[in-house]
Amino acid sequence: MEKAILALEDGTVFEGRSFGAREIKSGEVVFNTSITGYQEIFTDPSYCGQIVVLTNPQIGNYGANDADSESSQPFIEGLVVRDFSPVTSNWRSEEAANEFLGKSGVPVISGIDTRALVRRLRSRGVMRGVLSGVGGDPQKLVEQARRIPSMAGLDLATQVSTAKPYEWTEGVTACSPSELVDEAQQMRHHVVAFDFGIKRNILRRLVQNGCRVTVVPALTSADDVLALKPDGVFLSNGPGDPEPLEFQAAQVRKLIGKAPLFGICLGHQVLGLALGAKTYKLKFGHRGGNHPVLNYRSNKVEITAQNHGFAVDPDSLPASDVELTHINLNDQTLEGFRHRNEPVFCVQYHPEAAPGPHDSRYLFDEFSQLIQDFQKQ
């Protein structure tokens, strides 16, 4: 078994076993606390430029299959786990997880103390790192990690976005009878979805709620969106720092009042920027399927799936125009807001949660209702 090395910019080095690709990759080292859904994490475009540490100790045991991919390829730079299983045991598996990552050039390090690594990231914040699937000189890898450019100020959303518009018609294939949509409901509304790094299960959830979906590139202008005659506009999740997305925020600003807007994750941050707010980087981010969020409007707590490293500063939002609707109960960061006068709302987390808790799926129903109310005006 080949030796693998993870080297951090602070000089910390972890040595373990190599799986996946025999490559050397670099990026921002972050951690995710989800118990299941490793393939969805691998293929989430929001992880572009990041080496992901999974806190669940055993990864790879149920293999990989095409249906669980959130995009056409893995976007993580590398994977760090306690125990990586080369043995697959699941009737849905189509290939081993290490083969799935290996053919996409993603190195894996297994057999390290991920608890110690996560404690370091929590105390010192996310760090730049290098993951070598072929071993090497640890000190040289540390020096390489220190030379990695900062991800701050990079427009990663445009980098991972689709190159051209396309239609999406596939709904949720595995759903409960209560979620089935009859033919009368199918395709009631035309939703234009900005692809800042969109996940397939978000698109499936929109279709499940009776939407005909047109996905457009991140740099699509407001005029081009309106030319598609949308009933509603969706702003997707995506990777990186929101502040460089000045063009995208300007286009969203032009769309306010022209059509109902629903944003999640990076889309939430872009909406904040469009309304004049500021964003800031979190120390180690929110990544996992167990984050408690208080909904001020219902006074209920939702357990949510999250994946972001930045947040909107609530004090920078115009209080006369914006109502704060959700707050994170772990660190009191803003998790959602809506416009007081226009059909605009957003949340910081991922309400489609595939996999993850279903507490927040009602937000897709609220989007549909917002579209219907707007059409009656």
Could you list the active site residues? 265, 350, 352
Looking at 97, 118, 146, which one is the last position of a domain?
A: 146
What was the pLDDT predicted at 153?
85
Shared domain for 130 and 254, answered yes or no, is: no
Is pLDDT above 50 for 372?
A: yes
- Residue 151 resides in a domain: no
Helix (H) or strand (E) holding 295: strand 279-295
Is pLDDT above 90 for 376?
A: no
Q: What is the mean pLDDT of residues 78-86?
A: 95
252 close to 219: Cβ distance less than 8 angstroms: no
Task: Give the pLDDT band (50/70/90) at residue 72.
Answer: very high
Give the CATH number, domain containing residue 306.
3.40.50.880
Shared domain for 246 and 323, answered yes or no, is: yes
Is pLDDT above 80 for 255?
A: yes
% of the chain exceeding 90 in pLDDT: 90
Give the CATH number, domain containing residue 49.
3.50.30.20
Closest CA to 10 of 29, 24, 25: 29
Shared domain for 233 and 119, answered yes or no, is: no
Q: Which domain holds residue 178?
A: 156-376
Shared domain for 130 and 202, answered yes or no, is: no
What is the model's pTM?
Answer: 0.94
pLDDT digits (tens, 9 = 90+) for 111-154: 999 999 999 999 999 999 999 999 999 999 999 999 998 888 88
48's tokens: 């572009």
Shared domain for 117 and 181, answered yes or no, is: no
Q: What is the mean pLDDT of residues 255-271?
A: 98
23 close to 133: Cβ distance less than 8 angstroms: yes
Shared domain for 256 and 179, answered yes or no, is: yes
**Dihedral (CA of 213, 215, 216, 221) sign:** positive
Q: What distance in Å separates the CA atoms of residue 140 and residue 142, rounded to the nearest whole number?
A: 5
Q: What distance in Å separates the CA atoms of residue 343 and residue 261, rounded to the nearest whole number?
A: 6
What was the pLDDT predicted at 85?
92
DSSP 232-285: EEEE----S-STT-HHHHHHHHHHTTTS-EEEETHHHHHHHHHTT--EEEEEEE
